[in-house]
A and B are shown apart, each in its own frame.
Chain A
Amino acid sequence: MSLRLSRLTLWCVCLAALALCLPACGPSAGGDHPSSRPVLHYFTWSDYVGPEIIQEFERREQVKVVIDTFSSNEELLAKLQSGATGYDVAVPSDFMVAIMIQQGLLNELDPQDLPNAALIEPHLQALPFDPERRYSVPYLWGTVGIGYDSAVIPAAPDSWSILWDPRFQGRISMLNDQREVFGAVLRSMGQSMNSTDRPVIEAAKERLLRQKPLVKTYTSDHYDQLLASGEVVLAHGWGGPMARAMAERPSIRYVVPKEGATVWADCLVVLRTAPQKRLALRFINFLMEPEIAARTSERLRFASASRPARELVSASTRDNPAIYPPVDQLDRLEWMKDVGRAIRLYDRAWTELKMR
C-alpha cells in the first residue's frame, strides 16, 4: 500500500514538474524568445491564400506564419469580440471593416510602411468605409451577379427579372444570405440595397415570396457545382465561384444586371492587439506586391486590388467579367453597409420568406 502511494506521489510530482515546464518551453506566440523565429498569426478565410506564397514570405523574412481561418465576417467579429488575441493580420470585408473601426479593434496603418498599398486601383482608393485608408488596405474585390448557362439561355439576361421567369422553375439557386438576396431585389426595385425603410423591405419580401416557388435552393457555398453539373441554369452569387463553374462547364456566363448589384472588397487590416505589428505591415506589403497579388488573383479567381497586378494576370483572367468586373460597370455597383438595428426588419422578412 505504502509503495503504491509513494509511486503515486512520484507520478504527481512528475506531472507537476511537467506542468511547470510546459509554459516555459511551449510555443512563444509573441516571438519574444531570442533563438526562435518570430511568428506571424494570419486570420483569414478558408482557402484564401496559396501555401507557396506563405512559404515565400517565411523564407524571405526568416519568420513563421500561422494561419487560422473563419468562414464568415460574423464569425471573425464574434471571435475578436469575445477576446481572442494573438492575431496580427485579418481579412474582413468592407462592411465589417466599418464595424471593426467603430469597435476599436483595428490598428492605424502607416502608409510609409506600405509602399505597395499605394499602387491600388483608382476606384478602390477612397472607399466609403475607410476613405483615407487609415485602417485597411483593399486586397481582393469583385461583384455579386447572375451566373447562367448560355446553352439554355442564349440571350444574355441583363436584368434581375430573369430570376422571376417561370420558364426556369426549379432551376434557380439564390444565395443563402439575407442581405445579398434582399440586396438583389431592392436593386431590381430601383432602391438602395441598404434601405432601412420598412414598407420598402416589406415590398421586397413580397417579391421574394413570389419567386420562392421557382427557387431550387438557397445556398452560399455550392452553387458553382450546381451550375457546373447543370442542376441549375441560373445562380445568384459571387463572381469567383462562377469563374470556377466556367472552368468545368464552358457554357457558363456571368452578368451583373443593369439595375445594379453588390460590389465587395476584402481588406487587409492589422489588429489593435497584434503582437507583431511591424511584421504585420511587412506581410501586408508583401501580399500587395504586384507579382504576388497577381498570383493570388489567378489562384483564387478574384480580382486583385493592386493596379499593376491587373497587367500581370493572364488575359483570360483579366477579361473574365466574373473575376475582373469591367470598369464601365462600376457606377452601377453599391457597397453593402451595416444597417444597425434595421437588421431585425430584414431578419423577420427573411424568416417569413423561409417559412412560407
Chain B
Amino acid sequence: MGLFFLVPLGLVFAISFASRGTYGGVVWELTSANYLDLLHPLYGKILGQSLWYATITTVICFALGFPLAYVIARSPARWQPIFLLLVMLPFWTNFLVRTYAWMILLRHDGLINRSLMALGIVDSPLDLLYRPTAVVIGLVYGYLPFMVLPLYVAVERLDPLLVDAAWDLYASRWAVFTRVVLPLTKPGIIGGCILVFIPSIGSFITPDLLGGARSMMIGNLIQHEYLVVRDWPLGSAVSFVLMAIVMAAVLLYYKTASRSDGRLEAR
C-alpha cells in the first residue's frame, strides 16, 4: 500500500531535478535550476495568493459549517441521516458540472442577477462572475461538506450535560462557546480545517472557470506547466514546494494545538 503512494511521489521528486527537453518530455540532466527558477518573486506571489484564498475559504467554511453541524447533531436522531445525506448529495454530481452550474447562476442573465433586477434591488446586472469573490464562493461551496462532516462527528460526541453545566455555573454565551464547546470539538475543527484548506490551495478548476482565468493559483501553475508548457520538471518542483509548505503548516498546526492543550489542562 505504501508503495502505491511512494513510487509516484519518488518519481515526481526525481523529475523535479531533471530538465525539460526541447520538445517537452524529461531529460535526465541533474539540475537544481527548477527550484532556483521558483525563487522569482512571481511564484511567491502565486503561492501567497493561493494561501490567502485557501485561508478565507477555510474561515468561511468554518463559520458556515459549525452552526450547521451543531444543528444537525442536535436534531432528532431519525432526521440526522437525512440531513447528512443532504450535505453529501452534491458529491453525486461531478465537480466540473456543479462549477458550470455556478457559472450559469452568476452570469449577467443568470438566476441571481435576474432575481435581483426583478425585485428592483439593482438596475443593471452585477458583475458577479470572473471576480475573486466568485472563486471564493465556488471554493466554499465545493469544500463545505468536508468541514461539516468531521464537525458533526465532534459535536455529536460532545456531552450536552457539559454545556448545561457551564450554563449552570453562569458562564456567558461566549464563554460557553470558547471554553467548553470549542475545546471539546477541537479534533473535529482541526480535521475539518485541514480537509478544506488542502484541496482549496491546490484547486485549479474553480479559479479558471469562476475567476475567468484572470489570475493563477498554484494548482493552475502546476496544471499549466504539466499540460500546456509540457515542462514536467518545473511542474514537479512546484508540486514539491507546495507539498512541503502544506506539510509544514499542518505539522506546525498540530504542534501548537497540542501545546495549547497542555496549557489548558494545567489550568
The listed residue with most A CB atoms (<10 A of its CB), out of B23, B42, B46, B107, is B23
Segment with Cβ contacts to A, from B1-9, B82-90, B212-220? B212-220
B208 within 8 A of partner (CB): yes
Segment with Cβ contacts to A, from B68-76, B187-195, B223-231? B223-231
A25 within 8 A of partner (CB): no
A212 within 8 A of partner (CB): yes
Chain B contact residues: helix, strand, loop or mixed = loop
A113 within 8 A of partner (CB): no
Report the interface size for chain B: residues with CB under 8 A from the other chain. Answer: 32
Q: Inside 8 A of B229's CB, which chain A residues have their CB?
A: 343-344, 347
Q: Chain B 22-61, CB within 8 Å of chain A: the 1/0 string?
A: 1111000000000000001011011001000000000000
Report the interface size for chain A: residues with CB under 8 A from the other chain. Answer: 33
From residue 284 to 325 of chain A, which have CB atoms closer than 8 A to chain B?
Answer: none
From residue 224 to 282 of chain A, which have CB atoms closer than 8 A to chain B?
Answer: 229-231
Partner among B22, B42, B109, B214 whose Cβ is within 8 Å of the Cβ of A215: B214
Q: Given the interface contacts A103-B23, A170-B127, A351-B42, does A74 sit within 8 Å of B228 by beta carbon?
A: yes
Q: Inside 8 A of B46's CB, which chain A residues have their CB?
A: 351, 355
The listed residue with most A CB atoms (<10 A of its CB), out of B24, B224, B225, is B24
Contact A102 B130 (CB under 8 A): no
Contact B214 A178 (CB under 8 A): no
> Bound complex: CA of A93 vs CA of B112, how far in Å?
40
| Smallest CB separation, B16 vs chain A (Å) | 16
Q: Inside 8 A of A332's CB, which chain B residues have their CB?
A: none
| Smallest CB separation, B43 vs chain A (Å) | 8
| Smallest CB separation, A316 vs chain B (Å) | 28
| Smallest CB separation, B235 vs chain A (Å) | 11
The listed residue with most B CB atoms (<10 A of its CB), out of A230, A231, A338, A354, is A354
Contact B231 A355 (CB under 8 A): no
Contact B227 A355 (CB under 8 A): no
B186 within 8 A of partner (CB): no
Contact B227 A75 (CB under 8 A): yes
Contact B23 A231 (CB under 8 A): no
B221 within 8 A of partner (CB): yes
Contact B42 A352 (CB under 8 A): yes
| Smallest CB separation, B92 vs chain A (Å) | 23
Contact B227 A78 (CB under 8 A): yes
| Smallest CB separation, B97 vs chain A (Å) | 14
Name the residue of chain B whose CB is nearest to the CB of A217.
B212
B108 within 8 A of partner (CB): yes
Q: Given the interface contacts A72-B228, A78-B230, A176-B208, does A355 sit within 8 Å of B216 by beta carbon?
A: yes
Q: Given the interface contacts A99-B23, A229-B107, does A218 sit within 8 Å of B127 by beta carbon?
A: no
> Bound complex: CA of A344 vs CA of B224, how far in Å?
12
> Bound complex: CA of A338 vs CA of B215, how far in Å?
25
Contact B213 A219 (CB under 8 A): yes
A114 within 8 A of partner (CB): no
A81 within 8 A of partner (CB): yes
A77 within 8 A of partner (CB): yes
| Smallest CB separation, B9 vs chain A (Å) | 17
Q: Given the interface contacts A81-B25, A340-B22, does A231 sit within 8 Å of B212 by beta carbon?
A: no
List 10 A–B pairs whose Cβ atoms lie within 8 Å, in order of A's numbering: A74-B230, A99-B24, A178-B228, A216-B130, A217-B212, A229-B107, A229-B108, A344-B231, A352-B42, A355-B49
Give 12 A-B pairs besides A217-B213, A354-B215 with Cβ atoms closer than 8 angstroms.
A74-B24, A74-B230, A77-B24, A81-B25, A99-B23, A178-B228, A216-B212, A217-B130, A219-B213, A229-B109, A231-B108, A351-B42
